[in-house]
Amino acid sequence: MIYPIYTELTECRDCYKCVRSCPVKAIQVQNGSAVVVKDRCIYCGACVDICPSHAKKIRNDLGRVKQFLKSGRRVFCSLAPSVSSEFPNSVDSVVVALKRLGFFATSETAIGAALVSASIEAYAAEHDGRCNWISTACPTVVQIVKKYYPSLVPSLSKVPSPLQCHSAYLRKLYGQDIGIVFIGPCIAKKIEADETPGYPDFVLTFGELHTWLEEEDIDLDTITSELIGGKETVPAFLPSAAGKSTLYPVEGGMIASLNWGNDPFQTHAIAISGSEQVGSTLQGMVDDNQNSDFLELLFCEGGCINGPGAASGRSSASKKGLSSRFTRSRITEPQKIFGGDPIFVSELLKGGYPLIEKAGSVDSCVSSPRFGVLHAEEEIEHALHLLGKADKREELNCGGCGYNSCREMAIAYLDGMAEPEMCVTKMRKEAQSKMDVLLRTIPIGVVIVDDMLKIVDCNSGFLRLFSEVDFPLEEAALDMVAGLPLERFVPFHEKFREQFTYAKAEQYRLHYQDKYLRVTFFSVEKQRLVGALFEDITTPTVRRETVIKKAESVIQKSLETVQQIASLLGENAADTEIMLNSLIDAFKVPGNGEIEGFTKDEQQDLS
Co-location of 32 and 89 in the same domain: no
Instruction: Give the residue among 55, 113, 79 at the shortest CA–CA distance from 348.
Output: 113
Last residue of a domain, one of 59, 79, 106: 59
Which residues lie across from 536 on neighbouring strands? 517
Contact criterion met (CB below 8 Å) for 521 and 505: yes
So what's the pLDDT on residue 42?
96
Contact at 8 Å (CB) between 417 and 28? Answer: yes
Q: Residue 362 falls within a domain, yes or no?
A: no
Could you tell me if 4 and 102 lie in one domain? no
CB 530 within 8 A of CB 496: yes
Amino acid letter, 451: D
Q: Are residues 407 and 469 in the same domain?
A: no
pLDDT of residue 213: 97
DSSP SS3 for 520: strand
pLDDT at residue number 571: 47
Q: For the chain (length 607 residues), average pLDDT per consecutive 10?
A: 88 86 93 90 95 94 97 97 93 97 98 98 94 96 96 95 97 97 97 94 97 97 95 96 97 94 88 96 88 94 96 92 95 91 96 72 43 78 86 81 88 88 81 80 90 91 84 75 92 89 83 89 84 87 63 67 53 51 53 62 59
Tell which of 418, 436, 454 closes a domain.
436
Q: Do 461 and 568 belong together in one domain? A: yes
Residue 559's CATH number:
3.30.450.20
Task: Sort 532 into a burial class: Cβ within 10 Å, 0-12 / 13-18 / 19+.
Answer: buried
Question: Beta-carbon neighbour count of residue 201 at 10 Å?
Answer: 22
Residue 94 DSSP SS3: helix
257 and 168, same structural domain? yes
The answer to whether residue 366 is domain-embedded is: no
Q: 364 in a domain, yes or no? A: no
Distances (CA, A) of 308 to 111, 276, 386, 495: 23, 16, 37, 57
Give the model's pLDDT for residue 58.
95
Q: Please tell me whether residues 55 and 74 are part of one structural domain.
A: no
Q: Is residue 367 part of a domain?
A: no
How far is residue 534's CA from residue 399's CA, in Å, rounded to a whole number? Answer: 41
Asked whether residue 281 falls in the same domain as residue 227, the answer is: yes
Spatial CA neighbour of 16 closest among 31, 4, 34: 34
Residue at 407: amino acid letter: R
Residue type, 244: K
Residue 105 is inside which H or E element, if any? strand 105-108
Q: If 0-12 CB within 10 Å is exposed, 13-18 middle and 19+ buried, where does residue 81 land?
A: buried
Per the domain annotation, does 295 fall within a domain?
A: yes
What's the pLDDT score for residue 399? 81
83: how many CB neighbours lie within 10 A of its CB? Answer: 27
- Enclosing domain of residue 44: 1-59
Q: What is the pLDDT of residue 581?
A: 59
Residue 361 lies in a domain: no
Identity (one letter) of the amino acid at 204? L
Which residue, 436, 463, 491, sits at the end of a domain? 436
**H, E, C per residue of 540-588:** HHHHHHHHHHHHHHHHHHHHHHHHHCHHHHCHHHHHHHHHHHHHHHHHC
Q: Do 349 and 385 reside in the same domain of the chain? A: no
Q: What is the DSSP letter of 220?
A: H
* Residues in contact with 305: Cβ distance below 8 Å, sequence separation at least 6, in sequence order: 82, 85, 185, 249, 250, 316, 319, 320, 323
Whether residue 35 is contained in a domain is answered as yes
Give the whole-angstrom CA distance, residue 320 versus residue 251.
Answer: 9
Those residues with Cβ within 8 angstroms of residue 19's Cβ, 6 or more apart along the chain or in another chain: 25, 27, 29, 34, 401, 402, 403, 418, 422
Count of beta carbons in the 10 Å neighbourhood of residue 283: 13
> Looking at residue 407, which CATH number applies to its domain?
1.10.15
| Statement to judge: residues 400 and 352 lie in one domain | no
Strand segments, DSSP code E, in 398-514 are 445-450, 455-458, 506-512
Residue type (1 letter), 54: H
C-alpha 547/C-alpha 230 separation (Å) is 107
Domain count, the chain: 4
The answer to whether position 446 is within a domain reads yes
Residues 49 and 75 in one domain: no
Q: Same domain for 202 and 334? A: yes
What is the pTM (predicted TM-score) of this model? 0.75
Q: Are residues 214 and 283 in the same domain?
A: yes
Query: Phi/psi at 448 (nearest 5 deg)?
Result: -125, 130
Q: How does DSSP classify residue 237?
A: P
